C-alpha cells in the first residue's frame, strides 16, 4: 500500500469532560491512549497522520480547505439516534474516503429495535421485542417473562444495571418509567436470554468479510449486576472474565450468525457482534457495533485479535487495507 495522508477523527473523553458532560454521557468516547495508539500504529505502517478531532472540528477543517487521502474515523457523536452517522455523512458530502460503515448502517445499527427488525427479516435469530415509547404502551406487551429493558439507542451498557432483568409487570413499569425519563428515548424490551454471552469480531466487507474470532464474556459472582451492565463494563478488570470461545459446533453456529448479521446490515471493514444463548443453547443476535473500540488492551476487538495471535499493528493494517480496497486506493 502506498503512503497515505490520513486524518484522524475521534471523540476524546477529556474534551467533553471539560465541556461539562458526565462520565456516563462520554462513556463511549475514547481516551488519549487509544488515539495515541492508533496514530503511532498508522505512522509505523508508513502513513502521515493529522489529528482532526471531533465532528465539529472536522467541519471547521473542511471549511478551511483541508483534505486528506483518507479519514480514519472512530467518532460516535453526542446528540441524536443518528449521531454515529454524522461524520460519515459529512465525509461523503466532500467525497473523502473513510474507514468503517456508511451513514445508513451507522444510523440503523445504533437503533437496536430497527436493527432487530432487519435482522429478523433476514431470518436470523433475535429475541422477540417490544418498543416502549410511553408507559401507557406497556399493557400491549405480549412477551414472556423474564424480560430485559434498555434504552433503544445507547452503547457501552448505558441504562443497563441490576434492575434491567425484569420478572414482573410492576417492575417493568418502574424500570421503563425511569429509563424514559432519564434517556428521553424509547425503551427496548425483549425476552431475556439466560445462556452464555459472546462477542464475535468480523473483519472485511461484503463477501470478503471473515470471522476473526469469538470471545466469551463471563460476569463474576459479586458483580454489581449479573448481566453485562454499564457499571460492570466500566469495572471490567474486576468483574469480568474474557475467554476465547472453545472450538466446536456451538462456536461455528455463533460465528455463522455473526457473519450473517455483519453482511446483512452491510457493515464495512470491521464490526463486533454480541450474541447470547437461549434456554435451549441456541445463539441469538443481540446487537452489532459497526464502530468497535480500538484501545489496544481494553477494547473487545483488539482483545479478540490478541487471542487469535493477531498484533494490534496487523489489526489496523487489515482494517485500513479493507477501506483502501473499497475505494481503489491500493
User: Could you tell me the CATH number of the domain that includes residue 266?
Assistant: 3.30.470.20
Asked if residue 115 is part of any domain, the answer here is no
Average the pLDDT over 206-211 and give the result: 98
Residues 220 and 263 in one domain: yes
Query: Residue 321: which pLDDT band, with cuts at 50, 70 and 90?
Result: very high
Round to whole Å and give the CA distance between 113 and 107: 12
Average the pLDDT over 104-111 and give the result: 98
Residues 259 and 156 in one domain: no
Residues 44 and 160 in one domain: no
Residues 204 and 156 in one domain: no
Q: How many domains does the chain have?
A: 3
Asked if residue 108 is part of any domain, the answer here is no
pLDDT at 330 over 90: no
* % of the chain at pLDDT higher than 70: 100
Residues 210 and 315 in one domain: yes
Q: What is the pLDDT of residue 23?
A: 87
Q: What is the pLDDT of residue 219?
A: 93
Asked if residue 78 is part of any domain, the answer here is yes
pLDDT at 62 over 90: yes
Asked if residue 267 is part of any domain, the answer here is yes
Sorted by sequence, the CB contacts under 8 Å of residue 75 that are 6+ apart come out as 9, 10, 11, 54, 55, 58, 84, 86, 87
- pLDDT tens, position by position, 251-286: 999 999 999 999 999 999 999 999 999 999 999 999
Asked if residue 150 is part of any domain, the answer here is yes
Residues 200 and 323 in one domain: yes
Residues 179 and 147 in one domain: yes
- pLDDT tens, position by position, 115-162: 999 999 999 999 999 999 999 999 999 999 999 999 999 988 899 999
State the residue range of the domain holding 59.
5-99
Residues 223 and 149 in one domain: no
Asked if residue 122 is part of any domain, the answer here is no
Q: What is the pLDDT of residue 156?
A: 80
Residues 208 and 299 in one domain: yes
Q: In this structure, what CATH number is given to the domain that contains residue 146?
A: 3.30.1490.20
Residues 59 and 162 in one domain: no
Please give the angle made by the CA atoms of 81, 85 and 86, to the nearest 5 degrees.
Answer: 95
Round to whole Å and give the CA distance between 67 and 48: 13
Residues 15 and 56 in one domain: yes
Round to whole Å and give the CA distance between 93 and 211: 31
- pLDDT tens, position by position, 25-60: 998 999 999 999 999 999 999 999 999 999 999 999
Asked if residue 107 is part of any domain, the answer here is no
Residues 185 and 213 in one domain: no
Q: What is the pLDDT of residue 252?
A: 98
pLDDT at 234 over 90: no
Q: What is the pLDDT of residue 38?
A: 98
Query: Residue 237: which pLDDT band, with cuts at 50, 70 and 90?
Result: confident
Round to whole Å and give the CA distance between 150 and 166: 11
* % of the chain at pLDDT higher than 90: 92
Amino acid at each position: 500500500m502506498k503512503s497515505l495522508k490520513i486524518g484522524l477523527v475521534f471523540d476524546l473523553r477529556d474534551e467533553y469532560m471539560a465541556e461539562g458532560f458526565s462520565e456516563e454521557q462520554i462513556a463511549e468516547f475514547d481516551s488519549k491512549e487509544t488515539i495515541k495508539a492508533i496514530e503511532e500504529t498508522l505512522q509505523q505502517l508508513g502513513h502521515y497522520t493529522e489529528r482532526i478531532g471531533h465532528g465539529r472540528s472536522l467541519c471547521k477543517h473542511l471549511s478551511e480547505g483541508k483534505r486528506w487521502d483518507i479519514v480514519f474515523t472512530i467518532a460516535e457523536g453526542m446528540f441524536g439516534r443518528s449521531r454515529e452517522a454524522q461524520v460519515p455523512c459529512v465525509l461523503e458530502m466532500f467525497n473523502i474516503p473513510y474507514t468503517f460503515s456508511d451513514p445508513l448502517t451507522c444510523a440503523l445499527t445504533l437503533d437496536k429495535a430497527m436493527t432487530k427488525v432487519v435482522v429478523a427479516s433476514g431470518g436470523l435469530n433475535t429475541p422477540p421485542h417490544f418498543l416502549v415509547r410511553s408507559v401507557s404502551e406497556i399493557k400491549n406487551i405480549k412477551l414472556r417473562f423474564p424480560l430485559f429493558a434498555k434504552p433503544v439507542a445507547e452503547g457501552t451498557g448505558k441504562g443497563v444495571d441490576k434492575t434491567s432483568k425484569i420478572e414482573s409487570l410492576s417492575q417493568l413499569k418502574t424500570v421503563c418509567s425511569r429509563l424514559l425519563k432519564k434517556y428521553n428515548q424509547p425503551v427496548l424490551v425483549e425476552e431475556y436470554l439466560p445462556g452464555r454471552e459472546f462477542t464475535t469480531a468480523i473483519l472485511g466487507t461484503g463477501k470478503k468479510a471473515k470471522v476473526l474470532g469469538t470471545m466469551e464474556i463471563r460476569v463474576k459472582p459479586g458483580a454489581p449486576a449479573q448481566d453485562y451492565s454499564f457499571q460492570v463494563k466500566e469495572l471490567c478488570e474486576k468483574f469480568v472474565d474474557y475467554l476465547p470461545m472453545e472450538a466446536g459446533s456451538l462456536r461455528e453456529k455463533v460465528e455463522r450468525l455473526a457473519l450473517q448479521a455483519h453482511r446483512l446490515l452491510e457493515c464495512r471493514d470491521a464490526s463486533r457482534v454480541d450474541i447470547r444463548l437461549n434456554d435451549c443453547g441456541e445463539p441469538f443476535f443481540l446487537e452489532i457495533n459497526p464502530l468497535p473500540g480500538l484501545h489496544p488492551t481494553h477494547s473487545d476487538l483488539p482483545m479478540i485479535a490478541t487471542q487469535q495471535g493477531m498484533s494490534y499493528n496487523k489489526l489496523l493494517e487489515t482494517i485500513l487495507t479493507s477501506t483502501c480496497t473499497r475505494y481503489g486506493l491500493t
